Amino acid sequence: MTATAPILELHDVTVAYGRRPVLWNVDLAITEPCLFGVIGPNGAGKSTLLKAALGLVPVVGGYVRFFGAPLARVRGRVGYVPQRETVDWDFPVSVMDVVLMGTYGRLGWLRRPGARERELARHCLDRVGLVGLADRQIGRLSGGQQQRVFLARALAQQADVYLLDEPLAGVDVRSQEQIFEVLAAVRDEGKLVVVVHHDLRTAAEWFDRVALIDMRLVATGPTAEVLTPDNLRRTYSGRVELLEELGRAVAERGRTP
Amino acid sequence: MTAATGMPLVAAAGPIGGLSYNTLVVLAGVATVGFAAGVAGTLALLRRRPLVGDAAAHATLLGVGAAFLLTGRRDLPTLLAGALVAAVAALVVLVFLRRIVRTRDDAATAIVIGVSFGAGLALLAGITARGLPGGAGLEQFLLGHTAALTAQDALLLAAASCATVTLVAVAFKELVLVAFDAPFAAAIGRPVGLIDTALVALVAVMVVVGLPAAGAVLVTALVVIPPVAARQWTTRAGRMLLLAGLFGLAAAVAGVLASTLRPGLATGPLVVLAAAAICFVSFAVAPERGWIWRRSRLRGGEASP
Ligand SMILES: Nc1ncnc2c1ncn2[C@@H]1O[C@H](COP(=O)(O)OP(=O)(O)OP(=O)(O)O)[C@@H](O)[C@H]1O
Ligand SMILES: [Mg+2]
């Protein structure tokens, strides 16, 4: 790892499912810790982008580096929150069990979580405001609470880079604020937080930098410079109802301190 | 069928409760098998692949027949080795159909079950029709028949079952991780494909080991029903595992004991009936998830909004 290596670098990345490419030639380098938004319409390839970065789908062209190294060498420094729909919430595990899974990367195959890991998990649950629900079965949580359990599990990974896939989907406004505050606090600890996100208004409000994606990289940079009407029109081409939201997004940004 | 079987268990008067030493050993062996089948089945159910065992199970008959034809022997280890080879082959074909030919999951399973089971039945029918020496009695693997087991056979089954339980116990944390959230497991560097393969292999082994007790047609029930019943009682994977094991054990023991009541009675249906009874009770009375509980809660809930 060199001092100048970006925290996360995607170099000319192309990803295909079968023979159909869904992401074309994405070039993206994030050099500073920040709250980074990945924004685009449904099916734009946002989840695919995160999965490609994590090696969960094969990259057919280009490469991904974390801290200048391939993922395999720095896996312990990368945390992940999958989209909530990927798991069966009727699964017989408790909130605590799930958060403890965040420590498995460090523990390895055979060691079981002990007192230290439980202490860490409790601390992470505390950060997302769920410490009272540690023993509850995960199916008996609201959507927003489930998202926060996933967030707590990622925190328990004690990573330097976090990749989160729609951690705010199906979450009410109050929980959204709460989750964003946790993410901002993580950023303030000098970590990179990459968030796939849908809502342009909150995006303008919270993210330091964003990338607009629609099967390719449309634009990336500081939020204010990227979320322009022109860029948004290019990303959401043909989706008229979004232009209204865009107007609101721009107005909102003017009001934030 | 009875002519070819080993020692008649019921007739032999034994030291405990009228059961012979051999019967007791067989009973203990089958109890272990039931426990291990429930344990392996729990992980298969949690990974949402309850039916992989079914394809493997139906193929075992073909393996049993082929092993007999090729070696001319009919001792249990030989026949079960044949069954295991056939079970694994069936699973490989299943993966091939799904991945390469891109057949739907359930269609692929149905194809493998139909073809391998039909071929197995035809092979056994051919062996019986030709009256090959020792060929009679192979059809016991269709529905299970523990009366023919020797103490040595039972020890073999118990050993394989103990190995399965030990493996699951050691890998439990990783197996649950992959079953709950495979993308996350892959993201932290776990070889999800390998762990899945190991799980399927464990289920295949349990299906083969359960063959003498439950038979090719019904052995899946021994893998699937106890975990489903256990899930009713608990919301923790660890307890579910233990409970499913105990339910499987109880069903296996009850079925085998019932089958000793009359000579020539197939064990499989009795084992499965016992498992189904446990499952039915669990559906009815388990707290939180049982229907009696849910109905009474509904009624109680009417008062408050
Ligand atoms: N496993 C898969 N096999 C084949 N195609 C897939 C697979 N997963 C996603 N795709 C396709 O790839 C494209 C991008 O999907 P992706 O899930 O990355 O979109 P997304 O931007 O995350 O969308 P959303 O906002 O709905 O989550 C879509 O066209 C989708 O149909
Ligand atoms: Mg997505």
List, in order, residues 6 or more apart from A257 with CB less than 8 Å away. Answer: none
If you take atom 16 of ligand 1, which residue's CA is the nearest one? Answer: A45
In a domain, A1, yes or no: no
Put simply, the answer to whether B180 touches A98 (Cβ < 8 Å) is yes
In a domain, A101, yes or no: yes
If you take atom 12 of ligand 1, which residue's CA is the nearest one? Answer: A22
**Chain A residues with CB inside 8 Å of B178's CB?**
none
- Supply angle C-alpha A191, A193, A195, rounded to 5: 180
- Is B3-219 assigned to CATH 1.10.340.30? no
A5 touches chain B (CB under 8 A): no
Query: What are the pLDDT digits (tens) for B98-127?
Result: 888 888 888 999 999 999 999 999 999 999
In a domain, A3, yes or no: no
**pLDDT tens by residue, chain A, 257 residues:** 445 799 999 999 999 998 889 999 999 999 999 999 999 998 899 999 999 999 999 999 999 999 999 999 999 999 999 999 899 999 999 999 999 999 999 999 999 999 999 999 999 999 999 999 999 999 999 999 999 999 999 999 999 999 999 999 888 888 899 999 999 999 999 999 999 998 888 899 999 999 999 999 999 999 999 988 888 888 887 565 555 666 666 556 544 44
List, in order, residues 6 or more apart from A5 with CB less than 8 Å away. Answer: A65, A67, A68, A69
Which of B51, B61, B62 is CA-nearest to residue B214?
A: B61
SS (H, E, C) B184-228: HHHHCCCCHHHHHHHHHHHHHHHHHHCHHHHHHHHHHHHHHHHHH
The ligand minimizing its distance to the Cα of A22 is 1
In a domain, A38, yes or no: yes
A191 burial type by CB count under 10 A (0-12 exposed, 13-18 middle, 19+ buried): buried
**What CATH number is given to the structural domain containing A140?**
3.40.50.300
**Every domain of chain B and the residues it spans:** 3-219
Query: What are the pLDDT digits (tens) for B195-231?
Result: 999 999 999 999 999 999 999 999 999 999 999 999 9
A192-197/A161-165 β-pairing: parallel
Q: Which of A168-172, B7-11, B55-59, B130-134 has the lowest mean pLDDT?
A: B7-11
Q: What separation in Å is there between the alpha carbon of A48 and the centre of ligand 2?
A: 7
What count of Cα atoms within 13 Å lies in the side-chain half-sphere of residue A58?
6
Quote the pLDDT of residue B11: 44
A78-81/A161-165 β-pairing: parallel
Quote the pLDDT of residue A249: 62
Put simply, the answer to whether B188 touches A82 (Cβ < 8 Å) is no
- Supply angle C-alpha B222, B223, B225, rounded to 5: 70
**Chain B residues with CB inside 8 Å of A92's CB?**
46, 231, 234-237, 240
**Chain B residues with CB inside 8 Å of A98's CB?**
180
Quote the pLDDT of residue B8: 44
Task: For residues A36 and A78, give the distance between their C-alpha atoms in angstroms, rounded to a whole number.
Answer: 15
In a domain, A241, yes or no: yes
Contact A46, A213 (CB under 8 A): yes
| Helices B151-180 + B76-99 axis angle, to 10 | 20
Q: Which of B80-89, B96-105, B292-301 has the lowest mean pLDDT?
A: B292-301
Which of A156, A158, A217 is CA-nearest to residue A25?
A: A217
Q: What confidence category does residue B9 fall into, taking pLDDT thresholds of 50, 70 and 90?
A: very low
Task: For residues B283 and B213, give the distance between their C-alpha atoms in angstroms, rounded to a whole number.
Answer: 25
Q: What separation in Å is there between the alpha carbon of A184 and the centre of ligand 1?
A: 28
In a domain, A107, yes or no: yes
Put simply, the answer to whether B188 touches A75 (Cβ < 8 Å) is yes
Per-residue pLDDT, averaged over B127-138, amounts to 81
SS (H, E, C) A151-205: HHHHHHCCCCEEEEECCCCCCCHHHHHHHHHHHHHHHHCCCEEEEEECCHHHHHH
Which of B174, B179, B187 comes nearest A56 by C-beta?
B187
In a domain, A190, yes or no: yes
Put simply, the answer to whether A80 touches B234 (Cβ < 8 Å) is no
Tell me how far apart the terminal alpha carbons of chain A are, to the nearest angstrom: 37
What total of structural domains would you count in chain A?
1
Put simply, the answer to whether A97 touches B237 (Cβ < 8 Å) is yes
Q: What separation in Å is there between the alpha carbon of A20 and the centre of ligand 1?
A: 11
Contact B225, B276 (CB under 8 A): yes
Dig out the tokens for A129 from the structure.
């405001």
Domain that holds residue A251: 8-255
Give the binding-site residues of ligand 1, using a 6 Å CB cut-off. Answer: A 17, 22, 40, 42-48
B202 touches chain A (CB under 8 A): no
